[in-house]
Amino acid sequence: MFALEVLPNLFGGGGDSISNILSILFYVVFIVFLFYGQRIQMYVMIREVEGSLYKLKYIKEEGRKTTIETIKEIGKPQTDPTARVDRYLEYFTISPQSMDPAGIVYKLDHILDVRDTRLKDEVKIMAPESDEVQINNLENTLEAAMALNFIYKVVRHYYIQGKKTLSLYIIMQLQMILPLVMKEAEAYASALKAFAYGQPIGDGAGPLVAARLMHGYETRKLPKDCIVATVPIQGRTAFIIKAEGPGGNVGKPGEAVKAVVDENKGKIATVIMIDAGLKLEGETVGEVAEGIGAAIGGPGVDQFKIEEAVVKYKIPINAVVVKEDIGDAVSPMRKEISDSADKVIERVKNVIVERTKEGDKLIIVGVGNSIGIGQ
Amino acid sequence: MSENSSSTTKISTYLMMIVLIVLALSIVALLLSVNAFIVGNVIVAGYLLVIGFIAMGLSVYVMFQSRKRAASMRIEAPKVMTTIECKKCNFKNVREFQRGDFVFKDLDPCQKCNEKMIITAIYKEVKEKDKTYGV
Note whether B63 and B34 are same-domain residues. yes
Interval B60-81 mean pLDDT: 78
Instruction: Kindly state whether residue B18 falls inside one of the protein's structural domains.
Output: yes
Instruction: Kindly state whether residue B130 falls inside one of the protein's structural domains.
Output: no
Query: pLDDT tens, position by position, for chain A (375 residues)?
Result: 555 555 555 544 545 677 788 888 899 989 998 999 888 888 888 988 988 998 999 999 999 999 999 999 888 888 899 999 999 899 899 999 989 999 999 999 999 999 999 999 989 999 888 888 899 999 999 999 999 999 999 999 999 999 999 888 999 999 999 999 998 898 888 888 889 899 999 999 999 999 999 998 999 999 888 999 999 999 999 999 999 989 888 999 999 999 999 999 999 999 999 999 999 988 999 999 999 999 998 889 999 999 999 999 999 999 999 999 888 898 899 999 999 999 999 999 999 999 999 999 999 999 999 999 998
Q: How many CA atoms lie within 13 A of B79 on its CB side?
A: 7
Answer for the pair A191, A200: CB distance below 8 angstroms, yes or no: no
Instruction: Kindly state whether residue B21 falls inside one of the protein's structural domains.
Output: yes
Instruction: Kindly state whether residue B106 falls inside one of the protein's structural domains.
Output: yes
Note whether B37 and B53 are same-domain residues. yes
Note whether B62 and B18 are same-domain residues. yes
Predicted local distance difference test score (pLDDT) of residue A201: 94
Q: Note down the domain range covering B32.
A: 2-73
Last residue of a domain, one of B73, B92, B108: B73
Distance in Å, alpha carbon of B72 to nearest chain A alpha carbon:
8
For B103, the closest chain A residue by CA position comes to: A373
Note whether B93 and B44 are same-domain residues. no
User: Which domains are assigned to chain A?
Assistant: 45-197 (no CATH), 202-366 (3.40.50.1470)
Interval B73-99 mean pLDDT: 85
Inter-CA distances, A369 with A22, A84, A117, A326, A347, Å: 64, 26, 17, 14, 21
Q: In chain A, what are the helix, strand and coil shares in percent, each to the nearest 5?
A: 60, 15, 25
Note whether B60 and B42 are same-domain residues. yes
Give the pLDDT band (50/70/90) at residue B2.
very low
Give the pLDDT band (50/70/90) at residue B4.
very low
Answer for the pair A289, A320: CB distance below 8 angstroms, yes or no: yes
Note whether B21 and B64 are same-domain residues. yes
Which three-class secondary structure state does DSSP give residue A248? coil
Predicted local distance difference test score (pLDDT) of residue B99: 87
A57 contacts on B by Cβ (under 8 Å): 8
Instruction: Kindly state whether residue B52 falls inside one of the protein's structural domains.
Output: yes
Instruction: Kindly state whether residue B39 falls inside one of the protein's structural domains.
Output: yes
Inter-CA distances, A50 with A155, A242, B70, Å: 10, 43, 14
What are the pLDDT digits (tens) for B26-68? 999 999 989 988 988 888 888 889 999 999 999 999 888 877 7
Predicted local distance difference test score (pLDDT) of residue A285: 92
Note whether B65 and B85 are same-domain residues. no
Of A59, A61, A197, the CB nearest to B99: A197
B2 contacts on A by Cβ (under 8 Å): 65
Note whether B65 and B11 are same-domain residues. yes
Distance in Å, alpha carbon of B34 to nearest chain A alpha carbon:
22
Note whether B68 and B8 are same-domain residues. yes
Please give the Cα distance from A87 to A222 (Å, whole number): 33
Q: Does B9 touch chain A (CB under 8 A)?
A: yes
Q: How many domains does chain B have?
A: 2
User: In this structure, what is the dihedral angle of CA atoms A327, A329, A332, A333, given to the nearest 10 degrees?
Assistant: 120
Answer for the pair A8, A17: CB distance below 8 angstroms, yes or no: no
Predicted local distance difference test score (pLDDT) of residue B130: 60
Closest by CA to A253, choosing from A289, A314, A304, is A304
Of B1, B75, B133, the CB nearest to A189: B75
Instruction: Kindly state whether residue B135 falls inside one of the protein's structural domains.
Output: no
Cα separation of the two ends of chain A: 87
Note whether B9 and B51 are same-domain residues. yes
Of B4, B102, B135, the CB nearest to A246: B102
Note whether B20 and B60 are same-domain residues. yes
Predicted local distance difference test score (pLDDT) of residue A312: 94
Q: Does A372 touch chain B (CB under 8 A)?
A: yes
Note whether B95 and B48 are same-domain residues. no
Kindly determine whether residue A332 and residue B133, on different chains, have CB atoms separated by under 8 Å.
no
Distance in Å, alpha carbon of A375 to nearest chain B alpha carbon:
6
B104 contacts on A by Cβ (under 8 Å): 211, 215, 373-375
Please give the Cα distance from B74 to A228 (Å, whole number): 42
Predicted local distance difference test score (pLDDT) of residue A6: 52
Instruction: Kindly state whether residue B133 falls inside one of the protein's structural domains.
Output: no
Please give the Cα distance from A103 to A96 (Å, whole number): 10
Of A58, A199, A332, the CB nearest to B73: A58
Give the pLDDT band (50/70/90) at residue B3.
very low
For B69, the closest chain A residue by CA position comes to: A51
The pTM assigned to this predicted structure is 0.81
Give the pLDDT band (50/70/90) at residue B119.
very high
